Structure 1
Amino acid sequence: MTALVAGESATLVRAASGGDVVRPGDVDALAALWTRLQAEPERLEADPAAREWVAANVEYDALADRYLALLRGAL
């Protein structure tokens, strides 16, 4: 995954081993990353540590409740 984020979102992606982080608006860094990924396609495989992080840190019922609340608020 390529995440174009900063701050807490970038911290979460890194902590979860969820992919590469590029600062929003940094087109040169994004192009360089994608060039590296093309040269090293094995980096595109999911990191087992990412799945472990999600299993240890995400409560799916709580996420579902928050999404439902957001959807209800949008209606």
Structure 2
Amino acid sequence: MTACILHYRRAPEHPFPAQIEDAVAAYKALLAQGFDAKNILTAGDSAGGNLAIASVLKFRDLGLPLPGAVIA
């Protein structure tokens, strides 16, 4: 198993949607490295849980392949 821990930009210094942009950039990088979307999951708790869900909605809106799971 490989883990990628996202150190996303945080408010108030970096207002929304900086966090979503960081998640999208990290996800695209994983896909570009050859990771299969069905083998990727997003996860987080508290604000990270919100980001885990909201980022997948953004992936969908961008037409990216969706991850295999979300844990919030």
TM-score (normalised: structure 2): 0.28
TM-score (normalised: structure 1): 0.27
Relative contact order, CA 8 A, sep 6+: which one is greater?
2
From the CA coordinates, give the structure whose radius of gyration is larger: 1
Q: As a proportion of its length, which structure holds more helix?
A: 1
